Amino acid sequence: MIEMSFKTLIIKVLVFILSNFLSSRRLEVDTQQLNVPKLNVAYKIYASTPNGSRVLGSLKLRIPVFGMLATKTACARFSRTLSTLLAAGMPLIEAIEITGKTLDNVLFKDALTDAVIQVQRGAPLSAPLKASGIFPNMVLHMLSIGEESGNTEEMLTKLADYYDEEVEMAVQSLMAAMEPMIIVVLAGVCGILIGACMAPMLSMYGALDKL
């Protein structure tokens, strides 16, 4: 009985110390001081400028893991859209223009805009894409083979299937890697909430003990 009371006392003391620490370190977020809305507006304005969109687009492609995922997603959409348009009988130049509008990253849009100009001059599509430096070698190699053999649509379809599988596998691997991190974060949040809830109760018990 004495041992149980001692353990209970230790637990109460630890929780009391934790609650006092959380109370003393409590963060009061003042949105006016942080200017969160202003920062959000400034970000959107900068992202809407030609230079800002290119800088942010380049940063997105350089982020570890997520940059590779963004590149694979763009390649999958590019291959699928272009192959579908060509299979429907649309001219190559018009198909490239429409495909460029479906992409999110401005760097890929610029690459396809330049590709339209180069193709109009008689260059193969793989040449300007290679010059852009953002398309993987797999895309360039398969597209070049398709142009030489006259099976561009088929090669683009195979590329789309390949990158769709790559994107799916990358997302699954990313989610599996993030699960332990998510569990740790949730555990920390739960611990903070429990400590915050226990703090008033312990303060009340302390005041009652002094009576």
DSSP characters over 72-84: HHHHHHHHHHHHH
pLDDT reported for residue 25: 47
Q: Give percent of the chain with pLDDT exceeding 90.
A: 44
Q: Are 102 and 110 in contact (CB under 8 A)?
A: no
pLDDT reported for residue 78: 95
pLDDT reported for residue 20: 55
Question: Which ranges of the chain would DSSP assign to H, the alpha helix?
Answer: 2-24, 31-34, 36-48, 50-62, 66-87, 92-102, 106-120, 126-132, 137-149, 152-210
Domains and CATH numbers, the chain: 65-174 (1.20.81.30)
Q: What is the four-CA torsion angle of 90, 93, 94, 95, rounded to 10 degrees?
A: 60
Q: Residues with Cβ < 8 Å from 80, sequence gap 6 or more?
A: 156, 157, 160, 164
Say how far residue 205 (Cα) sits from the centre of its chain. 47
Angle at 52 between CA 48 and CA 58, to 5 degrees: 120
Model-level pTM? 0.68
The CA-atom distances, in angstroms, between 116 and each of 15, 131, 148 are: 67, 13, 19
Over the stretch 94-136, which tens digit does the pLDDT of each residue have?
A: 999 999 999 999 999 999 999 999 999 999 999 999 999 999 9
pLDDT reported for residue 32: 47
pLDDT reported for residue 162: 94
Q: Are 82 and 98 in contact (CB under 8 A)?
A: no
pLDDT reported for residue 121: 93
List the single range of 43-57, 68-82, 112-126, 136-150 with lowest mean pLDDT: 43-57
Residue indicated by tokens 């890929």: 108
The dihedral through the CA atoms of 137, 138, 139, 144 has a sign that is positive
